[in-house]
Amino acid sequence: MRKLLVCLFTFFLVYRGTISAQSDLPQFAVFNDAEINMKECPFEKDADAVILLDEASSDFGPDYQLITLRRIRIKILNERGLNRAKIVIPFYSKEDFEYIRNIEAVSIYQSSLYTLDKKSIYTEKVDQNFSNIKFALPNVKVGSIIEYRYESVMKDYGGLTHWLFQSDIPTVKSCYLLHMIPNAQFSYVVTKKPNYPITIKQLENEGKTYFEMNNIPSLHFEPYMDAVKDYLQKVEFQFSGYISEFGGKRNVNTTWEQVAYSLATDKELGGVVKKDVAIPDELKQLLSKENTNTGKMTVIYNYVRKHFTWNGYDGKYAMNGLKKLVDTRAGSAGEINLLLLNFFQQNGIESYPMLVSERDNGRIDPRFPFIDRFNKTIAYVMVDGKNYILDATQKYCPPGLTPFPLLNTYGLIVNKKTTDVISIADDSESFKTITVIKSKLDKNGSLAGYATVFNYDYAKLLQTEAIKEDEKKFIRENYEAEYEGLKVEEFNYENIDSDSAELVEHVTFTDQFDESGGYILLNYNLFTSLRKNPFVRDERFTNVNFGFPMKMEIEETIDLPENSKLDAIPKNRKLTTPDKDISISREIQQNGNSITIRLKFSQEVTLVPFEFYAGLQDFYKTMVDMLNEPITVKVNSK
């Protein structure tokens, strides 16, 4: 079915030509006084640069290639915007699917116009799928305008997916025209904020649809947000049907049920799972020791994730079957997980392919059955009365724990009974830590201590992954950069390779607090990751997606300098949101010449829509301020 769609796309011709709605666009390299004299973006005054125009037109070649003409004009507003003159044009170079040609570029400063020397254009291979065209505009200064255009040539219309109106800098005008030949139909979905107007013109006599947005603010990364592209103003396209030569209408994958059915029968997805693939002898021996399906599932999953290497690419299909993967032990995420499913089904374990879109890839809209929004295939397993979601490319994720990149997303189970996507969540497991700290403060404000951090569930998963990837970076970012003045003297850990035992971190550290006039302001807020409020913007445009519930307990004992006194101790306190889905408590107790601090934090909410951001921001500000209330220690200088 997928190959049929590709064939149908070759009859789905797109043309973005010049129509009346675009007739007011300026000619290439012709600039007006208002653009040249612009000092700031009128609707985003602190912007480093602004896109004055982003437009494209597409047509088809003699062999039904998709040929797209793209033009972008940018005004540089300050020093930070100068990097916009370094142009990168990515393209899908695998098997020569796409190439770039006819590049032209200019820059203008005041009244001086400079043209790009085409000898400075070069191509850089990124990986086996993608390459970049790179060049830098000449003589660019603050106040310059740069403009470039090029043609993208693709083999077929598989490359037609979406048009983005929004960027990380503001855009004055973005326009897109789509022309479709008779007998072909497409679906489109517009994603935009209600207060951002869009122009959509249906020119039915010409078979064209025109989209335009103006004065679109930039979108920046915000803490705990989903994929940036989830919130970009955009229009997405998918081929949806055609009119046969006899006049009958044929729809293609217009419901999730149709999508799932067609994929279940696709020989490169559902079909490849059912083919006999040789099971390695080592895996057969391990399976011979298991008497339950849960045991067999665990053995197969652990074997595949430890013996097959992910090549860094996602993918939904096994384009060339699975034999090569078994021989090379390396492949895409889709190939590895389809092999995992193959082994499951050969051993009588009920399992199905599941299409997913990880959080970084962007969310699925359950209303629209768009296959292209999924980025990989994983395994959905039903065994001994429990359901499991498994991705064998997640090296440190044990069976039973839903992979973190999939939390609060949707998945499509690929079988003939599927009628809709399902929500993926795991409220039964949390990011849980228990920390015990013992330390000693001297009269000069130096704190020396030892911490034991017990990590469970998602805390263990994420900490393990970070430590394995770069231990020094983990120490620097999670401890030393997080807590100003803290220095890790020694760091080691236990159980990092165990799927069942908690990860235990051992941290020997020192910290320094200010001492003045015999007083030390002691900040006990250590190992909480809550010394700073992550929600500082007054307004937020994206949802807050924590992914999982969080639980944290800390018990900290601090021995004080001899003959010292506590001049001020923060009161015991508990904070709770009105819905009681976030709470934190603090207890501080003095025992002779030492103090003990106990903190308990619980956050059950995992997804906060941006409409409720103000309440979350207020709570986090109050909580962080509470945790940073110092203990004032008066020391004896003698």
Residue 421 buriedness (CB in 10 A; 0-12 / 13-18 / 19+) = buried
Res. 430 pLDDT band, cuts 50 70 90: very high
Q: In a 10 Å sphere around its CB, with 0-12 CB exposed, 13-18 middle and 19+ buried, how is residue 246 labelled?
A: exposed
Is the Cα dihedral 267, 268, 269, 275 positive or negative? positive
Sheet holding 122-125, edge to edge: 86-92, 130-136, 122-125
**Fold (CATH) for 256-424:** C8orf32 fold (3.10.620)
- How far is Cα 32 from Cα 111, in angstroms, rounded to an integer? 11
Given this model, what pLDDT does residue 431 score? Answer: 95
**What average pLDDT does this structure show over 472-497?**
93
Give residue 10's pLDDT.
Answer: 32
The separation between the first and the last C-alpha atoms of the chain, rounded to the nearest angstrom, is 85
pLDDT at 2: 38
Contacts of 13 (CB under 8 A, 6+ apart): 60, 64, 157, 179, 180, 181, 184
Question: How many other CB atoms are there within 10 angstroms of residue 370's CB atom?
Answer: 21
List, as one string, the DSSP characters of 123-176: EEE-SSSEEEEEEE-SS--TT-EEEEEEEEEESSGGG--EEE---SS-EEEEEE
- Inform me whether the pLDDT recorded for 169 exceeds 70: yes
pLDDT for 99 equals 94
pLDDT at residue 20 in the model = 41
The whole-number pLDDT of residue 30 equals 94
Residue 183 pLDDT grade (very low, low, confident, very high; cuts 50, 70, 90): low
| Residue 167, token pair as written in the block | 């960027």
pLDDT of 248 higher than 70: no
Query: How much is the average pLDDT of 577-588?
Result: 96
For residues 85 and 7, give the distance between their C-alpha atoms in angstroms, rounded to a whole number: 39
CATH T-level topology, domain 2-243:
Immunoglobulin-like (2.60.40)
pLDDT of residue 253: 56
Give 332-385 pLDDT, tens digit per residue. 999 999 999 999 999 999 999 999 999 888 888 888 787 878 999 999 999 999
Distance of alpha carbon 459 from alpha carbon 465, whole angstroms: 10
Q: What is the pLDDT of residue 12?
A: 32
Map tokens 């015991």 to a residue: 572
Q: How confident is the model at residue 185 (pLDDT cuts 50, 70, 90)?
A: low
* 240: confidence class by pLDDT, cuts 50, 70, 90: low
Question: Does residue 480 carry a pLDDT above 80?
Answer: yes
Report pLDDT for 17.
Answer: 35
Q: What is the rounded CA–CA span in Å between residue 354 and residue 403?
A: 13
What's the confidence (pLDDT) of residue 539?
81
User: Tens of pLDDT along 47-82?
Assistant: 999 999 999 887 777 777 878 889 999 999 999 999
Q: May I ask the CATH architecture of the domain 431-634? A: Sandwich (2.60)
pLDDT score recorded for residue 16 = 34
pLDDT in tens, 6-47: 333 333 333 333 334 455 789 999 999 999 999 999 999 999
Please report the pLDDT score of residue 162 as a whole number.
84
| Domain limits, the chain | 2-243, 256-424, 431-634
Model pLDDT for residues 610-629, shown as the tens digit of each residue: 899 999 999 999 999 999 99
**Mean per-residue pLDDT of the chain:** 88
In this structure, what token pair is assigned to residue 431? 């990011």
62: exposed, middle or buried (Cβ count in 10 Å: 0-12, 13-18, 19+)? exposed
Q: Which of 465 and 68 is assigned the larger pLDDT?
A: 465
What is the number of other CB atoms lying within 10 angstroms of the CB of residue 184?
20
Query: Mind listing the pLDDT tens digit for each residue in 524-574?
Result: 999 999 999 999 988 888 899 999 999 999 999 999 998 888 888 899 999
∠ CA(24), CA(25), CA(26), 5° rounding? 115
What is the pLDDT confidence band of residue 3, given thresholds at 50, 70 and 90?
very low
User: Is residue 134 scored above 90 in pLDDT?
Assistant: yes
- Binning pLDDT at 50, 70 and 90, where does residue 181 land? low
265: left (phi > 0), else alpha (psi -120 to 50), else beta? alpha
CB atoms within 10 A of CB 510: 14
Least confident among 206-220, 322-336, 381-395, 481-495: 206-220
> Does residue 593 register a pLDDT over 70?
yes
For 207-235, the pLDDT digits (tens) are 778 899 999 999 888 889 888 878 888 88
Predicted model pTM = 0.80
